[in-house]
Structure 1
């Protein structure tokens, strides 16, 4: 009587899921219907409304728009001033730097300094970030002076929005604006890691590479890009400069996993073309990194080179896809093709946005990669199904349905692998009197006797590779076995089989004959196979129900090519 697997009753599970779904729906509905209990924080409520003036070299002033951009050469500081209102009572003034050093003075007193010269690994510019300056009601009517300095033409003279208010309110507004993008980046980072782990597990199980591996790297790079571009990055890393530099490394390296992915999808048809493109990507990476480390040109200044490489990569991929469409070979990867096109369009939108005022912060990249992930998962599940069906078919074809042992082809392959790794003993086993059992008791009785041989070999030859060659013949290989140990194992096999076969009269006529050959690691399988077969032949010609080592025959007669009628002492099996 077999024990049934216990499961929770179906109605209990359904009831539990219904309750959970109702509670979730009630929560979402309540958040939507009922008014907010938080005081609303809007951009207008935290934006500084005073007028800013730029201080020119001759000491004169001119009013400037904030946010805005002034014509300031790279490396020269931009100085802007304003006067706090008489009723000023806020505790914070904040401004976001754009690759700028920032100094904030209140009433001539230096209150806040942002300069990463001693904390960044290389480069001239400080990473972009929010700079907060503490204030109080006592500063009402005082002059605010802000100095901004960037060493890159594109960002020199940039003035972002100046905020004032409670610091928590300012951060709350930033969370309201940018939290979702940052959350998506974290989700992509987690998904990328999960995809990589799954691909490695599938690689171990099925001994083959999956496209998911390269997609996982694409998602990780995309997540790093989004986190590096996040306005909230200074909250979740201690050194924002390093994270911002990682964005540039991502841009330079992102063509590599993309080409790995499409090359795998296209099954290596354009491997040479992609190899050239990969080399160009590596050259660009080394060149731009060297220019940054030598303080000749910042990553931001050489970014156009990386963008050209990305554009060239996508053009190469586009050409190969067009060739496959013309030849009709693209139908084999039509699903990944849809996702790949979506991802490439998203990347190009992000690259284009760099040269415009609006920053997309990776949201389009995330969308494109999600589309690519979905279609790749569908493709992967189809491939897993095919591999699983093939593996099940191979298992059915390679296993003997009667004994459960590997068949000849599979067994000899496994023995050959073991023989390359260890010394051991190769043994031929033949069940005697199968025809007699079949003739007297029927084929069912013969099958039971064969199953008994398989069971005894599995039990007595522990750690050995055992297979059925066909009919009444079996083959095994026991690694790291000495002749003495082998003799002990064979005697145990004969004793166990003798006791088991005598339980019923139908199998009692059966007996075993065995030929053995000691093997050296890395030896010739065919040679040992022939020797074990000759030892078995000798036993069969000399009374059966015994075993013999080929080495003993060699000692008795140096020319062991002919074993018929060779005299010698057999091992008596009682």
Structure 2
């Protein structure tokens, strides 16, 4: 079925090809043998002057001459031609094409038209060839038309081209129909040449090699420019035809260069020096001809035989060389190129020879030769591309084979890099440990193969960490017992992963036992002495050294003397004594490789290229994943990092900067939430978050949770810190003062000055103690841990002065006006007041104020809330501090009045309403009230 479908599709393609060729053949047949539908007045007979043309010789004699023709006229002399205009003149224009000639038209004795580029051309002796038109009128009938032709070169002296007469438009139509095809061909070759050059550039970019098709493209461009310069229509193509005319000669002078480049590239530099000599001769000839033309000594046309000779020698030499080269080549495409080159040479030879014999030929043969050579060269270029692609595929196969051979080792490093990418502080750890272990093994007298196996296995000693959650690996504070026990499981996890890996000996035992101690107190199996595999004992020493010698999130690298002392003290307890002695010797002799601990890039470790690429690739992936996880670790409400991310970033920053750790707490957040709802509390948190963000441009700020925040301000001093904290407290107080619902919110902060030598955990604890001290001493302030009196701090938990406690309680509950509670607390107070009425026989009253909307008004929610806010302010400011109020419903407030004079209750309400009307300018609301006495019966 598939074969039938393919046969059917092939038949459809052949049918389409036949149809297209048939249509094209019909079109060509109609153009050649079909009727000529052009206007009859555009024929040669209608526009070419066929009357008598008389040559007025300088000696006074005359001679009737045939036009066109060539006659003997000395260089620089003017050839005068006369035509007698008929008495029944109907033509409106006469024209003649100058061949490097100045042309003057006279009607009678009056100069009608003059053409000369003497004042406009930059170089050369002669005016560029072009059509010159002379208008005639009915009044010119019977007059003599005189044409004067002057040239300053022997090539075109005495040349008389056809004389045209008739309508100017008809003359141009005839010229276009006669010579337009050559111009179209020239443009096509120019376009094809440009496309060929661009195509060659594209191939060079793709395959990183130069294709000789490019030089053929330049040949085509130069040939097209020459054809356009020789075109009879060039005065229509460009505004300055003289420049284009000179350019066509320049192209002939320079065309040997791309031809030589093409041949040299084709033969792979076989005759490079000879071609350089020919190219130099062509350049010298170009320079000499240009100088002669610019000096007015000899035009390009006069020196052209030398240029043609150089071109002929170049083409002939190249043809011979290519014939010899291609005869030894087995590539059929190169043999086809020889045929195309031969055809192009013949065409160019015909065109070049015609310059001296036929003045009206203009590039048809050159165009045909170029197109033939282009077609052949395209076929060859396609074949070369196929060869390049074949070689590329073969190279890829060889490269893949080499990569497969190295795949095992690369996989080892890939796994190691994947593990280390989870923790930026251990990047390169496995590589360094492997290097240290190899040095120890070398001192032990191991063979190179054993050392290599040890290095490979050591790369995977921490592979079990892939099963440990990142927060525990990157935790800046001290681990809890449970967290530490979880991290210790990485040895067992690693051994389970590697237990079936037979390619790398001892990998599983190293992963399991590299945290065992020589005294048997290690983990996970509690092995002791020689029970621990020798490979694991070596890795244990190397691993411990790199851990102490590298920066960690919770500390900087330890000094060398401290590291040395740790190994000396733990010889025979934590580490194998023999291996420890070898390692201490290496430390003394400074034979261990050194890495800059501040560098974290993989290329610091001089990894192989493939290994480096894999390492960077995986590191980038893990960094991207971690950045996405970090993005999720930002508090949506405040825009600050949350606890885990914030503590980690702060700990990292503290390792490189001195500064101050600030433990900040927002006071009374729960009270705001209970009274005004969580939206008000969220608003307070947002305001504080914005203030902290502005102060964290150079440091770190984060939200620990609830109303607690952490901030690290780097490179500062106590005085500057005090100013910053005063500014923060003042701006927050301004915000809360302007918002009645946030008036209870204040800030408390504990500060701890720290240096890069201090641990995050210790500074965190001190800042927390400073905050606790502030909380015990009235809140709404900040304090430095370094300023706390030790005796006061020790006694703060008990025996505190009662007056201080009372003052703290009083300040923590400061309010303006009446006690404003949420409804639940108000109900408790109401129950208490009822009990008080029963036991103490005091008189208390419950009042309700209602804000009613007037009839026929529909106020919006903002107006209602504004009115309620004004009413709340009026109530709180006009009842006593012993009274209690709350918002009961969307439009009602409740008030408990403690032992008022009942006769004064209307006055109290009147004061409230008066202030309300003074603040609220809306007439859509009408407040009213009622009250009753709280009695024991209501319990």
Going from structure 1 to structure 2, the CA distance change for 1:494 and 1:256 (only over 3 Å counts) comes to farther
Q: How does 1:97-496 map to 2 (within 5 A)?
A: 97-324=98-325, 333-399=334-400, 431=412
**Contact preservation (8 Å) 2:55, 2:63:** yes
Going from structure 1 to structure 2, the CA distance change for 1:553 and 1:70 (only over 3 Å counts) comes to farther
**Contact preservation (8 Å) 1:182, 1:230:** yes
1:509 counterpart (497, 511, 532): 497
1:506-552 Cα shifts (integer Å, max 9, x gaps) = 997269999xxxxxxxxxxxxxxxxxxxxxx98687569x9898998
How many Å separate the matches in 1 of 2:369 and 2:423? 59
Give 1:156 deviation, angstroms. Answer: 1.2
**Contact preservation (8 Å) 2:52, 2:64:** yes
**Contact preservation (8 Å) 2:182, 2:364:** yes
How many Å separate the matches in 1 of 2:540 and 2:391? 40
- Count of residues paired in the alignment: 458
What SS does the aligned partner of 1:121 have?
Answer: coil
1:110-151 Cα shifts (integer Å, max 9, x gaps) = 111110112212011001110011112222111100000000
**Contact preservation (8 Å) 1:339, 1:369:** no
**Contact preservation (8 Å) 1:70, 1:158:** yes
Give 1:389 deviation, angstroms. Answer: 2.9
What SS does the aligned partner of 1:509 have?
Answer: helix
How many Å separate the matches in 2 of 1:460 and 1:375? 62
Going from structure 1 to structure 2, the CA distance change for 1:387 and 1:22 (only over 3 Å counts) comes to closer
How many Å separate the matches in 1 of 2:118 and 2:381? 48
What SS does the aligned partner of 2:42 have?
Answer: coil
Give 1:330 deviation, angstroms. Answer: 8.3
What SS does the aligned partner of 1:125 have?
Answer: coil
Give 1:107 deviation, angstroms. Answer: 2.2
**Contact preservation (8 Å) 1:50, 1:84:** no
Give 1:102 deviation, angstroms. Answer: 0.1
Give 1:344 deviation, angstroms. Answer: 1.8
Aligned to 1:517: none
How many Å separate the matches in 1 of 2:423 and 2:23? 60
Give 1:351 deviation, angstroms. Answer: 1.4
1:66-93 Cα shifts (integer Å, max 9, x gaps) = 1112221111111111111111111111
Give 1:430 deviation, angstroms. Answer: 6.8
What SS does the aligned partner of 2:63 have?
Answer: strand
How many Å separate the matches in 2 of 1:305 and 1:184? 28
How many Å separate the matches in 1 of 2:313 and 2:29? 51
Give 1:209 deviation, angstroms. Answer: 0.5
1:304-324 Cα shifts (integer Å, max 9, x gaps) = 110110121123223323543
**Contact preservation (8 Å) 2:107, 2:144:** yes
Aligned to 2:918: none
Ranges in structure 2 where 5+ consecutive residues have no aligned partner: 1-8, 428-462, 471-489, 499-506, 512-536, 552-556, 564-586, 601-939
How many Å separate the matches in 2 of 1:150 and 1:548? 97
What SS does the aligned partner of 1:201 have?
Answer: helix
Going from structure 1 to structure 2, the CA distance change for 1:24 and 1:349 (only over 3 Å counts) comes to closer
**Contact preservation (8 Å) 2:347, 2:366:** yes
Superposition TM-score, scaled by structure 2 size: 0.44
**Contact preservation (8 Å) 1:104, 1:110:** yes
Give 1:204 deviation, angstroms. Answer: 1.3
Q: How does 1:44-123 map to 2 (within 5 A)?
A: 44-123=45-124
Ranges in structure 1 where 5+ consecutive residues have no aligned partner: 1-9, 411-427, 433-449, 465-492, 515-536
**Contact preservation (8 Å) 2:220, 2:370:** yes
Going from structure 1 to structure 2, the CA distance change for 1:495 and 1:290 (only over 3 Å counts) comes to farther
How many Å separate the matches in 1 of 2:247 and 2:48? 31
1:482-503 Cα shifts (integer Å, max 9, x gaps) = xxxxxxxxxxx99778679x9x
Bigger relative contact order (CA 8 A; separation at least 6): 1
Going from structure 1 to structure 2, the CA distance change for 1:148 and 1:494 (only over 3 Å counts) comes to farther
**Contact preservation (8 Å) 2:333, 2:383:** no
Going from structure 1 to structure 2, the CA distance change for 1:541 and 1:334 (only over 3 Å counts) comes to farther
How many Å separate the matches in 2 of 1:178 and 1:459? 77
Superposition TM-score, scaled by structure 1 size: 0.69
Going from structure 1 to structure 2, the CA distance change for 1:506 and 1:333 (only over 3 Å counts) comes to farther
Give 1:202 deviation, angstroms. Answer: 1.1
How many Å separate the matches in 1 of 2:238 and 2:274? 39
